[in-house]
Structure 1
Amino acid sequence: MTSWLVARRHADGTASAWNVANALTVLRVLLVPLMGALLLVEGGQDAGWRLAAFAAFAVAIATDKVDGDLARRHDLVTDFGKLVDPIADKALIGTALVLLSALGELPWWITVVVLGRELGVTLLRLVVIRRGVIPASRGGKAKTVLQSLAIGVYLLPTVDAVAAWKPGLGLGLVLVATLVTVVTGLDYLASAVRGRRLGPRTLPPTS
């Protein structure tokens, strides 16, 4: 089944949207509400449901890595994937941040800063799209990794095994992730301005 999805192509040789990479992206989208529902069971206080929410988040993050690798390795990059993949990522991170803040576990200002940055970058992408798409940079990838690690720590149930190190590690990671989020957002803005000065399709990489 997987080999059929990978091999399927249009008559002109371009990859069909019906491929395993896009299937993993759709799975990530479906895991977003599942993760949210599991996190909210009993107000986020039940260790079992909390661990299930962590597992759903971890699987979703793993699909983000796998679908990208498959798309590049097997030439499965499609317009559908380009559109839905970043939406799935932002939905996953955004949902987790909002729910953790709603549960009183994560300061709202962090959620507002991160989501504000993502909204701003999305709007900038729409503004500069005629001059080219700005690819993700190492800073942007580091931002995603740090955000994922921080959220993963926060999602873990506070049981004896993690109670000693979870608060400090979680707060440290989320503060570093927020700083990197802001810095890469400013870098994106600078890149967009440079691209406007240099002309079409000369935008340097960022995130």
Structure 2
Amino acid sequence: MASTRLFEPRELLYPSNMLTIARLLLIPPTFRYLRQPERRREALACLGVAMLTDAIDGPLARARGEVSPLGELLDPVADKILINGTAIILSKTRDFPWWITGLLLFRDLGIIAAALVVIKRRSQITVAASTGKLTTALLTAAALLYVADGPRSGKPALYVAMVPFLLSFFQYGKRFLAVMRNQDE
């Protein structure tokens, strides 16, 4: 009988997945510090370290031959929670544009819904698009600038991040349609 598990428990011990889990564990203190203007340095440190784990976990998994279903699932979930939660808090506290927060939430909810459909129908986890990874990096830079200096430095970086963001929106949609078309074959 074939296993129906999405991942094997030993994948929890892969260094790359441990970094992703560390990123998930950094989310509560990051959000707490982001809501406290006097704790801006702590917020910068937590957000910076959390997103540094994102820069390291994928290359580490590939270098060690430990790309895993668990990592492919947890990594984008951690990114989406961190980026979207940060955008919401910064919209409330640092003049981060609400319309961009809305676009982020809309795109990411669409990605999650599409991924769930693909997992259900194909038992397959889809990986991030290249423009999605660039978007995450640039949104992180913009968020760090918003925390450090507010809209003066953050807004120009945010507008730069919107270019790959919009491209990723279409790239994810195109990939979803291609996966769903191949299902019928």
Q: Provide TM-score, normalisation by structure 1.
A: 0.75
Q: Distance in 2 between matches of 1:142 and 1:104?
A: 23
Letter in 1 for 2:160: V
Contact 2:129 2:171 in 1 (8 A): no
Letter in 2 for 1:167: P
Select 1:51's aligned residue among 32, 37, 41.
41
Partner of 1:172: 156
Are 2:95 and 1:105 equivalent residues in the alignment?
A: yes
Contact 2:135 2:164 in 1 (8 A): yes
Of structures 1 and 2, the larger Rg is shown by: 1
Q: Provide TM-score, normalisation by structure 2.
A: 0.83
Partner of 2:171: 187
Q: Distance in 2 between matches of 1:140 and 1:20?
A: 23
Shift of 1:78: 2.9
Partner of 1:137: 129
When you count helix as a share of all residues, which structure comes out higher? 2
Mind listing any 5+ residue stretches in structure 2 that lack a counterpart? Answer: 1-8
Contact 1:15 1:75 in 2 (8 A): no
Q: What is the percentage of aligned positions where both structures have the same residue?
A: 34
Cα RMSD for the two superposed structures: 2.3
Mind listing any 5+ residue stretches in structure 1 that lack a counterpart? Answer: 1-13, 159-165, 203-207
Q: Distance in 1 between matches of 2:88 and 2:77?
A: 16
Please list the CA deviations of residues 33-69 of structure 1 after superposition, one character each: whole Å capped at 9, or x if unmatched.
Answer: 111111222xx2x2xx201101111101111121212
Alignment of 1:31-180 (within 5 A): 31-41=26-36, 44=37, 46=38, 49-129=39-119, 130-131=121-122, 132-156=124-148, 158=149, 167-180=151-164
Contact 2:34 2:40 in 1 (8 A): yes
CA 1:173/1:18 → structure 2, altered by over 3 Å: closer, same or farther? same
Q: Distance in 1 between matches of 2:74 and 2:147?
A: 25
Q: Distance in 1 between matches of 2:118 and 2:27?
A: 29
The number of equivalent residue pairs is 175
Q: Distance in 1 between matches of 2:96 and 2:47?
A: 17
Q: Distance in 2 between matches of 1:186 and 1:99?
A: 26
Contact 2:146 2:153 in 1 (8 A): no
Letter in 1 for 2:140: S
Shift of 1:176: 2.7
CA 1:122/1:16 → structure 2, altered by over 3 Å: closer, same or farther? closer
CA 1:65/1:104 → structure 2, altered by over 3 Å: closer, same or farther? closer
Contact 2:72 2:127 in 1 (8 A): no
Shift of 1:86: 1.3
